[in-house]
Amino acid sequence: MDFSRPNFNQRIVIRNGRVIDPTQVLDQVADIYIADGLISNIGNAPVGFKPDMEFDAEGMLVIPGAVDVCARVREPGQTQKGNIHSETHAAAAAGVTHLCCPPDTNPVIDTRAVAALIQERAYQSGYAHVMPIGALTKGLDGQQLSEMHSLREAGCIGVSQLRHPVKDAQVLLRCLEYASTFDLIVFFQSEEQSISPAGGVHAGPTATRLGLPGIPECAETIALSRDLLLVEQTGVRAHFGQISCARSVELIATAQAKGLPVTADVAVHQLYLTDDMIDGFNSQYHVRPPARTEADRQALIDGVKAGVISVLCSDHQPHEAAAKAEPFPTTAAGISAFSHFLPLSYEFVRTGVLTESEWVQRIAMNPALLIGLDAGHLSMGSNANLCVFDPNESWKLSRDNMVSQGKNSPFIGRTLHGRVKLTLKDGALSYRHS
């Protein structure tokens, strides 16, 4: 693997790849030319173009770089789990050129300084754009509005309370009204904490049998229902992240049908995991929200296919080994997810659930549109943020080939189909697999 430093002056040609860009209704085998960080042309070489680097992408897909709306980089404050350098490295290796990091850093992203620090370090590392999501309330304490306008000025693409409760509905109402004032998008991770015990798994037969704390489906849907009513009340743009159950898909579809400004994403691992997989108390399956039933999993897939869930995200959460080396209920929740992000999401193309174009929409185009980002497309003259993905290469995920500092994944040992071969960020090589 090559993690050479970005070089913005390179002229690059990617030959013979299948270039897919839903924004242009483009799907054709073509050469793509990059110079000065921009996409110069797709098809014929621009006049006088002399490449510094050529890449033969025959049989591969050339797609916009993935835009990941939820990925932890763990900096500042949790560098034992990862840091901006290591995790943007991992993002580049996963074909991700832009990622949104949630505000639960330490300190929380509730000041311009923290937002600026994250972007500065990401810029210095050079492997992926990191766009912070600001805290909805100061310190995520659920009590006092954050300085949302300042946070937006400092580069935050939205605000979120994550799974930290806002117990007082009046406070939440005011938060949403204030965010709506500036057309800020609010990222919800709906969860009613009073019925969502720590260390829990889906409240079902497995939880009962193993005696693990059960998190019922209604922990998500109660909060989601309240959040949707407040969205309707305030008119705020709302994005519901990492939903986990069939009923949530229904609720969001109903809201969308009513014309509410509501979108949703699902973490790719939720499309694979079910609660019965934790049978052996395997803490690698400890995720939040919990993996639910097969019926929920199928409903989530159907939601992705129908477009109710328009975005796929990684929900990348690297952890140090010790965070998972405890009895299941006391371990940290989350999966180091970059490595499987594209291969497992592409699996739905292989199985006919999505077309290639729909897949690109859900991993790049739609998330870019969601956050108002000029990315997720391959337009000529735009910044060359793209990824070359070989859908035919099979490989086995192991701790050694995970680029992230976190090696926590239930998919270790699994054969993945499809591999990121090349990633360009603003026309510079940020990853090349060899």
Partner 1 sequence: MTPKTPPHQLQLNEHGQLRHFLTTEGLSTELLTEILDTAESFVSVGKQAVKKVPLLRGKTVVNLFFEASTRTRTTFELAAKRLSADVLNIDISTSATSKGESLMDMLWNLEAMDSDMFVVRHQASGAPHFIAEHVTPSVAVINAGDGRHAHPTQAMLDMYTIRRHKGDFAKLNVAIVGDVLHSRVARSQVHALRGLNVGEVRVIGPKTLIPADFEGLGAKIYYDMAKGLKDVDVVIMLRLQKERMQSALLPSESEFYRLYGLTMEKLAFAKPDAIIMHPGPINRGVEIESAVADCSRSVILQQVNYGIAVRMAVLSMAMSGQTEVAAQEGGV
| Active centre residues (catalytic) | 315
Q: What's the rounded Cα separation, in Å, for the pair 389 and 423?
A: 9
Using rule CB under 8 A, residue 43 touches partner 1: no
Q: What are the C-alpha distances in Å from 143 to residues 174, 182, 342?
A: 10, 20, 38
Residues 174-203 that bind partner 1 (CB under 8 A): 199, 203
User: Of the two residues 259 and 280, which places its CB atom closer to partner 1 in the complex?
Assistant: 280
Among 55, 178, 187, 328, binds partner 1 (CB under 8 A): 328
Stretch that binds partner 1, among 46-54, 159-167, 206-214, 254-262 (CB under 8 A): 206-214
Q: Is 233 in the site for partner 1 (CB under 8 A)?
A: no
* Residue of the chain from 214, 290, 391, 427 that contacts partner 1 (CB under 8 A): 214
The burial class, CB within 10 Å (0-12 / 13-18 / 19+), for 99 is: buried
Estimate the crossing angle of helix 84-93 against helix 112-125, to 10 degrees: 60
Residues 6+ apart with CB under 8 A from 336: 90, 316, 317, 318, 319, 402, 404, 406, 407, 408, 409
The alpha-helical segments, DSSP class H, found in 333-418 are 338-350, 356-360, 366-370
Q: Residue 258 has which token pair?
A: 């009513």
Residue 381 near partner 1 by CB under 8 A: no
Q: Is position 398 an interface residue for partner 1 (rule: CB under 8 A)?
A: no
The yes or no reply on residue 53 touching partner 1 (CB under 8 A) is no
Instruction: Give the interface segment with partner 1, choosing from 8-16, 81-89, 352-360, 409-417 (CB under 8 A).
Output: 409-417
Q: Pattern of binders to partner 1 over 269-308, x per CB under 8 A?
A: ---x----xxxxxx--x-----------------------
Interface stretch with partner 1, choices 53-61, 105-113, 211-219, 346-354 (CB under 8 A): 211-219
Question: At closest approach, how far in Å is the CB of 201 from partner 1?
Answer: 10
Helix and strand numbers (H, E) in the chain are 12, 19
- Other residues' Cβ atoms within 10 Å of the Cβ of residue 365: 23
| Residue of 48, 211, 352, 381 that binds partner 1 (CB under 8 A) | 211
User: What is the enclosing helix (H) or strand (E) of 192?
Assistant: none
Does 238 interact with partner 1 (rule: CB under 8 A)? no
Measured from the CB atom, the residue of 144 and 398 that comes closer to partner 1 is 398
How far, in Å, are 15, 26, 134 from residue 374 at the CA level?
A: 24, 17, 20
CB nearer partner 1, residue 218 or residue 353: 218
In contact, 387 and 20? CB cutoff 8 Å:
no
Q: Which range binds partner 1 by CB under 8 A, 82-90, 294-302, 350-358, 411-419?
A: 411-419
| Binder of partner 1 out of 410, 416, 422, 426 (CB under 8 A) | 410
Q: Does 208 bind partner 1 (CB under 8 A)?
A: yes
Establish if 209 lies at the interface with partner 1 (CB under 8 A).
yes
Both tokens of residue 97? 């050129």
Q: In degrees to the nearest 10, what's the CA dihedral of 361, 344, 382, 72?
A: 110
- Reduced to 3 states, what is the DSSP secondary structure of residue 430? strand
Residue from 76, 329, 355, 379 that binds partner 1 (CB under 8 A)? 329
> What backbone phi and psi angles, to 5 degrees, belong to 29?
-75, 125
From 162, 344, 368, 412, residue interacting with partner 1 (rule: CB under 8 A): 412
Query: Which CB atom, from 207 or from 428, has the smaller least distance to partner 1?
Result: 207
We find the least distance from the C-beta atom of residue 280 to partner 1, in angstroms, to be: 3
Please give the Cα distance from 64 to 364 (Å, whole number).
6
Interface contacts to partner 1, rule CB under 8 A: 199, 203-205, 207-214, 272, 277-282, 285, 322, 325-330, 410-414
